[in-house]
Structure 1
Amino acid sequence: IEYIEVERSDIVLANKLAHEILGRTLDEMPPQTRKLLMLIQSWIADGGKPKAELHFTRKQLRDAVQWGDTQLKIHLARLVELEYLLLHKRGLTFCYELLFDGDTQADNAHLCGLIDVPEASAETVKITENGQYDSAQSGISENRSASGRGAVGGRSDKAIAVKVSAGKGSAPSGRVNGKSTVPAKPDKRITS
């Protein structure tokens, strides 16, 4: 089995590169849409609940930000399209969830959903006597136990016999749907 060993600093660097390369800046969206995103983020922060637990309707947001329905509908649709909000259907109503986890005041590129990995201190990382991070990890040359499951889709050497019966609708019986066939006369036209 091939694998790549990484350290926390590698993950931090990968997150930084992902933000720079794949992230978008808030300058890419219209000013009113950016303003609505800032209002939503501050409204959720003032609510005291974690943003993952707070689902809100358009009416709740309209009451909170005091915008008109049409204006709110247009900019919410843009935020959903840009994946800053997630749309949920709850019965007949639609609920929104804030996905954006960046800073609306900062002007840098941001990719939503990356987990921040704090730098670990030397006390939190356990190093074994061999200098390995985890001594319980199985090595490449170690013997491993057999799989607990059988192979999926195993082959069978037994041939399965298929029984052919001359029943309803088969040619040997001369019957179609339980009725005998009647040959048409050559001088009569067959119509449906």
Structure 2
Amino acid sequence: MNYLIKSKLTSIWVLFLCGVFMSSNLTSKNWLNHDAAEWWIVNDTVMGGRSASELLVSKQDAFMRFTGNLSLENNGGFASTRSHTPAGYFGDAEKVCIEVRGDGREYQFRLRSDRNFDGYAYVQSFQTQQNQWQSFSFQLANFVPQFRGRLIKGAPVLSADNIRQVGFLLGDKNPGRFQLDFRFIGAC
């Protein structure tokens, strides 16, 4: 009897693991810090705007939710969240992948090569489909260095071993509610 129970439990465990690994087409190591205290919000309120956002953690479903209201009042128009990454985490990767579920809006995936609060970011935009999990793969060579929405000329090329922050920004100039879930950030 014990053997039968162990055998059934082992079979269930194997099926579970297969389901977990087959549920995503991303095969690399996932860096996703599910500790909300390690992420911070940077909205247009730093310049007098009125956008509001928050980061929620769904540990049960293993994703994070960046949500809020984008406002254009007082020359506002952006909401963002970001977190530090461990030094060297992305190694020598040429691509970074994310897995997100959005609301049909265009967001930016942003990487920084320092741990500073202000400064330029390397940016790639992506278009979400409403309530659909999507995987995006970004070549590091295609990230565009920007500072407050302006292109930075002469910035060093981004390399994976220099990535120190990851984050998301909404600045599509469409006021209203937004929601972006994410469950994977990693080299691919």
Normalising by structure 2, we get a TM-score of 0.23
Name which one, 1 or 2, has greater alpha-carbon Rg.
Answer: 1
Determine which structure has greater relative contact order: mean sequence separation of CA pairs < 8 Å that are 6+ residues apart, divided by chain length: 2
Greater strand percent: which structure? 2
- When the two structures are superposed, what TM-score results if normalisation uses the length of structure 1? 0.23
Higher helix fraction: Structure 1 or Structure 2?
A: 1
